[in-house]
Amino acid sequence: MSEQVVKELEEALGSPLRKYREGKVDFFAPIVKQVVTTSDIVFYNPRMEFSRDVSVYLVHAYHNITGKEMDLCEPLTSCGVRAIRWACEVPGIRNVLSGDLNPKAVLLANANAYLNGVLNKVDVRWNEATRLLDDCPLHGRRFDVVDVDPFGSPIYFVDSAVNALKKEGGLLCLTATDMQPLCGIHQDACLRKYGGLSLRTEYCHEIALRLLVGATIRIASRHDLGAKVVFSHSSDHYVRAYLLTKRDATEADGNLKEIGYILHCFHCGNRRVLPSLAPLKEAKCEFCGSIMRSAGPLWCGKIWDRSFTEVVKTIVGQSKYKSNRRLNRMLDLILSELDGPPTYYDLHSISDSEGVNSPSTSNVIELLRSKGFFASPTHFRGTCVRTTADTETVKSIVRQLG
């Protein structure tokens, strides 16, 4: 864009603009402040570049697996960078419908689409997110991919998002940044939004992810949609989930059987998974007899799919994004932990409670494996171990090695 056009945009937006680059895309956005808030003229958060990189790779993987020519929707587009990156960087994109309730964001997103030569693929509209999603099926338009990336909780948009996916199924991508409710700090807000309770444990970020997935799967089941989590991650200040949906009431019924609870003993650290939506009775810890507290209802099933993750890993190996080192590290950790059980143990916390030095994660994993247990590091936190061993076994190994 010429300097004159940029000046005209700045006058229309009432804010100075700066040129940024992500992936293969150049775009303009307001100069980023130290703290990004919803009151900004047009929302752009450079800290979420990693999330957008992962989104590009996941949509690319979905195309490689399905071979589809894809229609996508991003109902909360802001300056349009995610939608434009899809159009420029992912093969098989037929059309991207983007929307924003802020008319200044729509103006800027259209200008950025023009700058990158993708106005023929990226259609930016002024509309509220749920209305945009709800109107499309009424006019015979549905999507292969819907990506909801809000400031806060995505749960308000999930019903409209799953209904906007194609009837034969599609890929639903969700970001949640409201980590205080999801990690057990604001329980009322968590119950109100996600229909479940969290706990402030060392594995609260996994609970957060499972609460998001559980709420989404329950909403999808109302539409007779089965859902499979093919990828998820916890990074920085958010959790992110990718679910493949399928129009199948039987599969939806099967999903509901994996909604349940995680019980945690705050006295000894023991935990138990109960994949059941039956009314939860008071439970005692089998190790110390203390009353256990519950998180849920939430998703108790798998939160990754190996074959899908391996396709993503292959695509990452063929590209040169600046986040690739971080992403490869995350993918390696996920591939090591994806067959493990829910929850993980923080070795530093156990060492503190046992009064010993913290052993290395690799030594603990090696000893657990030698005893026949599944054991792996986790991408959630570097000092943690995911294992099938019970709490007392993990504690004894920490004492032995500490």
Q: What is the pLDDT of residues 35-54, one digit of tens each?
A: 555 555 677 889 999 999 99
Which two structure tokens, joined as six digits, stand for 134? Answer: 């709800």
Q: What percent of the chain has pLDDT over 70?
A: 98
3 state DSSP class of 247:
strand
Contact 350, 395 (CB under 8 A): yes
Could you tell me if 168 and 290 lie in one domain?
Answer: yes
Report the amino acid identity of residue 380.
F
Contact 240, 233 (CB under 8 A): yes
Q: How many residues does the chain have?
A: 402
Of 181, 201, 200, 202, whose CA–CA distance to 191 is shortest? 181
| pLDDT at residue 281 greater than cutoff 90 | no
Q: Report, as an integer, the average pLDDT of 224-251.
A: 97
Could you tell me if 147 and 54 lie in one domain?
Answer: yes
Q: What is the pLDDT of residues 89-137, one digit of tens each?
A: 999 999 999 999 999 999 999 999 999 999 999 999 999 999 999 999 9
Domain stop point among 299, 332, 364: 299
- What's the pTM value of the predicted model, to 2 decimals? 0.96
Could you tell me if 234 and 160 lie in one domain?
Answer: yes
- Would 42 be classed as within a structural domain? no
- Average confidence score pLDDT of the chain: 95
Q: Report, as an integer, the average pLDDT of 190-219.
A: 97
Name 377's bridge partners: 385
Could you tell me if 136 and 267 lie in one domain?
Answer: yes
Of 273, 268, 300, whose CA–CA distance to 286 is shortest? 268
Q: Which domain holds residue 114?
A: 49-299
Domain stop point among 299, 333, 360: 299
Q: Residue 329 belongs to a domain with what CATH number? A: 3.30.56.70
Amino acid 36: pLDDT: 55
Sign of CA dihedral 294, 252, 73, 318: positive
Amino acid 33: pLDDT: 66
Domain stop point among 299, 320, 354: 299
Of 164, 140, 167, 157, whose CA–CA distance to 73 is shortest? 164
Could you tell me if 354 and 293 lie in one domain?
Answer: no
Q: Report, as an integer, the average pLDDT of 358-364.
A: 97
Alpha-carbon span 151 to 265, nearest angstrom = 33
Amino acid 278: pLDDT: 79
Of 228, 207, 217, 227, whose CA–CA distance to 158 is shortest? 217
Lowest mean pLDDT among 34-38, 290-294, 385-389: 34-38
Confidence of residue 276 (pLDDT cuts 50, 70, 90): confident
- Would 63 be classed as within a structural domain? yes
Q: Residue 157 belongs to a domain with what CATH number? A: 3.40.50.150
